[in-house]
Amino acid sequence: RVLSGPHATRMLTDLGAEVIKVEPPTGDMTRFTYPRINSQSTYFVQQNVGKLNVSIDMDQDEGVALAARLIEASDVVVENFRPGVMDRLGLGYSRFAKNCPRLIYTSISGYGATGPWTTRRAYAPVVNAETGITKHQGDVRDGTYANDPHSHGDVYTAVETASAILAALYQRERTGTGQYIDVSMAETMLYINEHAHNQLWDQPVP
């Protein structure tokens, strides 16, 4: 919605994919951020350059039906809602798995589609702290614990998502079958924390 999904699909756009960004009738929230040049949000442009854009009202049955037709015509779907939102809209993977066997359906969320924290809202600074990144940064800055201005949790998750989609496309070329991809921001940040092994021990190893 803000960075993980847009950045992952920006990467796919840069690699030559035709990406259609679906926005609500009011427009993507980052369209209204600053700074602006020629009435365009530079943040929005950076993450969405090269994409096609369509506005669909998901609160209307007609909008959901239109989104379903768009999904059925696509090779890849990337959604960045909290787990369960797409199912409540009637646009979850289970709806398309049988009739669109080549579809690669990708969900990005804070804590994954399964587990006790699936419904928790996730923001990069919170996930950075929970996965040890913030503490490690503070430890090497004389105990000043603060997140730096870059959204590591969002961007690293976007990179992992794009990589997973490319792997799924390659597998589909060999098997003819798509798949469901579940990408978790928290899992990603634990995965890329190369110092996590030091923090797994209660005491130093002799």
Residues taking part in catalysis: 154
> What is the H or E stretch that residue 139 is in?
helix 133-139
To which residue do tokens 């015509």 refer? 73
Q: 48-83: buried (b, 16+ CB within 10 Å) or exposed (e) per residue?
A: beebeeeebebeeeebbebbeeebeebebbbbbbbb
Which residues fall within 8 angstroms of residue 54, CB to CB, at 6 or more apart? Answer: 20, 21, 22, 23, 70
Report the C-alpha gap between 50 and 32 in whole angstroms.
Answer: 19
Residue pair 11/48 in contact by the 8 Å Cβ criterion: no
